[in-house]
């Protein structure tokens, strides 16, 4: 079946996201725009994933827990999970590995931890806008160990992309899917080698996609979508 998705959305937990990127606001905006599935992918942790999952269920939207990790090479990598529990284990591991640099008010966003009723319950104390001590290769190994699927984020963007930082995609990563920016150039070879998916990377509510990005999946579930991303698509 053909599913409309947006698999790269930041909540107010991410230091670069607006404070109105709350779990309920995100889920309801996704439903309003007719999306079948969304993923919350905050930077270097997933403290809001459980709340977004509940709000998404209430709104009738499939939810995929995820995280956007900044590797030691300063490359952004998306990691997705079928289950919240696995995402939280992986997310806590990444967060605990971050250097003990505290968030300084006024320099970055608020890094808000918010529950399913959109009530702020705390803040992430460590600065999330920094690199974790994992190389791309090691991160993929840890992601697989925890049951996650790693996808390089916005590979054709000039900042924090694997093509910008490494200059190439290592073949031993054994990737099936990469995320791209639609409005930026991409060598055709990457479309031949990998599945490509485009997401909003939304940091503000209006940036969440309309029904414009689709995945062919066997079922309308997180498992169905991740299975589709794990296999080479027929074009």
pLDDT tens digit sequence for 28-57: 999 999 999 999 999 999 999 999 999 999
- pLDDT at 90 > cutoff 80: yes
Task: Identify the pLDDT of residue 233.
Answer: 64
Contact 135, 38 (CB under 8 A): no
Task: Identify the pLDDT of residue 106.
Answer: 63
List the structure tokens of 94: 């990444």
Q: What integer is the mean pLDDT of 191-198? A: 94
- 15-19, 50-54, 101-105, 159-163: the lowest-pLDDT one: 101-105
| Neighbour tally for 197: CB within 10 Å | 21
List the structure tokens of 13: 């937990």
- pLDDT at 235 > cutoff 60: no
**Residue % of the chain over a pLDDT of 90:** 90
Comparing 41 with 184, the larger pLDDT belongs to 41
Task: Identify the pLDDT of residue 109.
Answer: 82
| Average pLDDT of every residue of the chain | 95
| Cβ burial, residue 168 (10 Å; 0-12/13-18/19+) | exposed
Task: Identify the pLDDT of residue 167.
Answer: 93
- pLDDT at 216 > cutoff 60: yes
- pLDDT at 177 > cutoff 90: yes
Q: What integer is the mean pLDDT of 67-87? A: 98
* CA–CA separation, 180 and 164 (whole Å): 13
Q: For residue range 122-153, what is the model confidence (pLDDT) as tens digits? A: 999 999 999 999 999 999 999 999 999 999 99
Pairing of strands 76-80, 149-152: antiparallel
- 80-89, 142-151, 162-171: the lowest-pLDDT one: 162-171
């Amino acid at each position: 079946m053909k599913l409309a998705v947006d698999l790269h959305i930041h909540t107010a937990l991410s230091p670069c996201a607006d404070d109105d990127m709350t779990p309920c606001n995100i889920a309801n905006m996704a439903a309003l725009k007719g999306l079948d599935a969304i993923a919350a992918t905050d930077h270097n942790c997933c403290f809001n994933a459980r709340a977004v999952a509940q709000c998404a269920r209430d709104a009738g939207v499939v939810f995929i827990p995820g995280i956007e990790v900044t590797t030691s090479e300063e490359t952004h990598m998306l990691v997705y999970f079928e289950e919240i529990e696995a995402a939280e284990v992986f997310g806590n591991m990444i967060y605990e590995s971050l250097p003990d640099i505290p968030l300084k008010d006024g320099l970055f966003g608020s890094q808000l931890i918010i529950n399913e009723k959109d009530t702020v319950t705390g803040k992430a104390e460590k600065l999330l806008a920094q690199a974790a001590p994992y190389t791309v290769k090691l991160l993929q190994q840890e992601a697989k160990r925890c049951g996650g699927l790693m996808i390089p984020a916005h590979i054709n963007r000039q900042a924090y992309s694997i093509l910008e930082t490494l200059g190439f995609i290592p073949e031993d990563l054994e990737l099936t899917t990469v995320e791209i920016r639609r409005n930026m150039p991409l060598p055709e070879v990457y479309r031949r080698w990998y599945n490509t998916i485009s997401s909003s990377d939304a940091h503000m509510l209006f940036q969440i996609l309309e029904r414009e990005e689709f995945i062919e999946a066997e079922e309308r579930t997180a498992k169905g979508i991740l299975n589709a991303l794990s296999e080479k698509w027929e074009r």
